Amino acid sequence: MRFAGLLAVLAAACGGGPPPTAGEARAFLDDAEARLLDAWIATGRAAWIQSTYITDDTTAQAAEAQAAVIGLTMELAAEAARFDGVELPEDLRRKLLRLKTSLGVAAPADPARQAELAAITTGMEAAYGRGEYCPEDGGACLSLPEIERRLAEVRDTDELLDLWLGWRTVAPPMRDDYARFVELANAGARDLGFADLGELWRAGYDMPPEAFTGELERLWGQVSPLYESLHCHVRASLADEYGSAIVPPDGPIPAHLLGNMWSQTWANVFDLVAPRRADPGYDLTDLLEDADVDEIEMVRYGERFFSSLGFDPLPDTFWERSLFVQPPDRDVVCHASAWNVDYDSDVRIKMCLDVDGEDFVTVHHELGHNYYQRAYRHRSPLDRDGAHDGFHEGIGDTIALSMTPEYLVEVGLLDRAPPADRDIGLLLRLALDKVAFLPFGLLVDQWRWQVFSGAIPPDAYNEGWWNLRTAYQGVSPPAPRSEADFDPGAKYHVPANVSYTRYFLAHILQFQFHRALCAAAGHEGPLHRCSIYGSRAAGERLQAMLEAGASRPWRDALELGTGEREMDATAILDYFAPLQAWLDDQNAGRSCGWRRG
């Protein structure tokens, strides 16, 4: 901490001198934002290089930059404490709180411990990025994208188990580092006045942390019956395929059978669970291949969608600086992400694209971040963010909901839309992606919050993880697991320290946004057949919400986009209402639910 800042904090603590004023708070924040912006840009540049060219040197440089921004933020947060008892306008009070919560991680005041924390976090992310599975039989080592492709296609349970277990060998070496990370980050959070890092994360939603926890459970309660209906049908279908000895009729589903490394989405088992006449007559991957669409053109489709709503095209630098294809000559973090390196116009995406339907959707998701970033770039630095993190994750997925058959016809990828009697297949495929994800989106941070609070100690990391996965998701490990394992670390967001609740909220909000934007576009008919492509009225409503950034409480931003002031999961129920009726018919006579203990 600078000497003057330390003196100010000490003086305030001792009651010396006149109380600070709102004008002084505004001047402090103006200076703090300018300094933070410089540090954020330097950190972003170092992180981009480290993520797209993983070496010991780039990892060290990223750690140094991260340590610098952690140190500066902690210094400024400590100085801001002198305004805690001052009556301030709401915008200043919110900015002071965002200053404290702007980091995904807090660190102790000691520079050596800050550097240690930065080295741990960048080291864990680099270890994940380098991770691969090398079979004991001497076969070629497999990267995560290669393992994921096999998991999506293989139906042999022994091979599925081998792949599932193989990727989880990358995580145990991170376990001790993660425990140390928790210790250091909690100490930093306490220095800022929070009980632990989890409380710091939950403080960023314009409500008390404990109220936010209740809000999540309220939203989950709205959608959990639909999830349990989907789970019941999928479990019965998998039991038909693999036998009840592998898939118990009243228990959790073994995690390796759901077509995804983390069982977070289930669309890859659609062929095993689909109804008759489920084929809509097209496959998006095949359509892209037939149209000779390459990786760059996939991104162009996303850009054209936003342009149809009235948004400006992406800058030339986006196309020059983004990473679209996995390089053959170096290690990169292939996990898809969107970047705004200069917090102004230098927006980019980083992906190892495949020309397929899944990545076509992911492109639109990542571009949603970039268009949001461009919309609020004129705001002051601490306001250059989403209304809350669920907004940021939900925008691109809202656009993806408009990729209806009618949209594919309009852009020339499909000759004609399938008849309405094929809608159950379309809805089921989407539910295997969107609805299946909901409990996983909730439980990742439930685990971390309990780790941060000490409710799940280091010697119970894996047990706590699987208890939550069984309770919320109805999924079980396919082989015995122990505390020698560290299965949470096999999910990118845990070693990378990326909050995950944002994805749960995004899955709620995208349907709420979609319902409101479809109304603005004048859509009539089933919600799942609505595309807002080409609607300037929907685009104007969306633009107004995005331009607000974090400058207003999220309820105000939500009202700009939807006319509503509370998050509402009933839009999911509206969207999937025909599927719910079909699932009810399929599940008649079945025993639904699962043993949670």
Q: Is 364 a catalytic residue?
A: no
Distance CA 318, CA 581 (A): 44
Residue 337 belongs to what H/E stretch?
A: strand 337-340
Largest CA distance in the chain: 78
Catalytic residue among 231, 365, 514, 528: 365
Per 3-state DSSP, the chain is made up of helix, strand and coil in percentages (nearest 5) of 65, 5, 35
Q: Is 79 a catalytic residue?
A: no
Q: Is 503 a catalytic residue?
A: yes
Scan for tokens 């162009």, then name that residue: 300
Distance CA 441, CA 493 (A): 11
One-letter amino acid of 317: T
> Measured between alpha carbons, how far is residue 242 from residues 59, 63, 229, 238, 595 in Å?
44, 47, 20, 6, 20
Distance CA 255, CA 264 (A): 9
Q: In DSSP terms, which residues pair with 253 in a beta bridge? A: 475
Catalytic residue among 231, 233, 256, 335: 335
Q: Which tokens in the block code for residue 323?
A: 């990473």
One-letter amino acid of 229: S
Catalytic residue among 152, 274, 291, 336: 336
Q: Is 378 a catalytic residue?
A: no
Q: Is 514 a catalytic residue?
A: no
Catalytic residue among 67, 227, 366, 571: 366
Torsion of CA 299, 305, 309, 310, to 10 degrees: 40
Catalytic residue among 393, 436, 520, 571: 393
Q: What is the DSSP letter of 388?
A: S
> 330, 321, 325, 317: which is closest to 296 by C-alpha?
325
Q: Which tokens in the block code for residue 209?
A: 């942390």
> Measured between alpha carbons, how far is residue 491 from residues 62, 212, 283, 344 in Å?
21, 24, 29, 30
Catalytic residue among 231, 369, 392, 514: 369
Q: Which tokens in the block code for residue 272?
A: 């095993």
Catalytic residue among 241, 242, 493, 519: 493
Catalytic residue among 227, 503, 533, 575: 503
Encode burial over 82-120: b for 16+ CB neighbours within 10 A, e otherwise. Answer: bbeebebeeebbbbbebbbbbbebbbbeeeebbbbbbbb
Q: Is 87 a catalytic residue?
A: no
User: Is there a contact between 584 and 592 (Cβ–Cβ < 8 Å)?
Assistant: no
**DSSP assignment of 404-434, as one string?**
-HHHHHHTTS-SSPPPGGGHHHHHHHHHHHH
Q: Is 393 a catalytic residue?
A: yes
Q: Is 366 a catalytic residue?
A: yes
Residues with a catalytic annotation lie at 335-336, 365-366, 369, 393, 493, 503
